[in-house]
Every structure is written in C-alpha cells, then in structure tokens.
Structure 1
C-alpha cells in the first residue's frame, strides 16, 4: 500500500480510506498475501473493469472536447503550465 500511496502522491491513510470506498462499491478487492499477513494485492473486480473502461472513454471524450474548444497549440501550452504543479 505504501508504494501505491507514494505513486499517487497521497498519504497512506487517505489511500486506505479511498480503497475502503472502492471496496464498498465493489470496484476493487484486496487479497491478503500468502507470504506476508501485512501485505495485500489489489485487484479490479469485473464491475471495476467495466467502470474503468467507461471512465477512460469519458476522459477521451473530454480530451477531444477540450482540444476542439481551445485548439491543439493552446492545449499543449495548458498541459505544459499544469505540469509545473506536479
């Protein structure tokens, strides 16, 4: 979990809260490691995979919409500006 939290740039406690919510919604499941009781593997459920495909489709539609509205050059500039905040 620590590696996932670090990769996402959030505190471990926030990740646990986020995963609890995703698990309640049946989007992910945690499976305890057979070799380390403190460690869990994360898996998308079938419902989670369906939701992920839908989110990716919506994100792609949004990207196309933004590109249409502001143009390719302005989109690239916006991405450069936003990358300064990461």
Structure 2
C-alpha cells in the first residue's frame, strides 16, 4: 500500500486549516510498521516553521481501493500548542 501524508496547520483563530501543507510520501510492502502521530501528539517540521504544534485531527481517505496499487491519503491537522516546547525535549 502507498500512503500520502499531508500535514496542515490550523491557526487558533481559524475554523479551517491553511490551504498549503507539508507532504510526505510513504510506501510499505505490509511488513514495515508505519508510525503516524496520534491526536494529542506534538509534531514539528524543521523546514516548515508554520507546522509546529499539537495534532488536532486525522483523516484517512481511500480513493482507489481495489486498483493495481492501493493508496491511502492521510491528512493530519496541527494547531498551536500552549505547551512549553523546552519541556518536551532537551537538546
């Protein structure tokens, strides 16, 4: 199965996430474990400063099941975290 994961940021004062996001393509032969952040997890992308915060929701969409290569499109919405990031990791 092939996975396409898009992370989108939703500002606290907005009802919808921003139109752009950070995309990640993942392929699996079914033997590898694929780890995705769960609701409540904190995430940060070093190259995308606007996508840093807490996972608010996840959507799994299977648009082409039964085709030659099954695809799962995953959208993960991240919103601002009030947590002190210094307490989450010591660098």
Choose 1 or 2 for highest CA Rg. Answer: 1
**TM-score (ref. length: structure 1):** 0.30
**TM-score (ref. length: structure 2):** 0.29
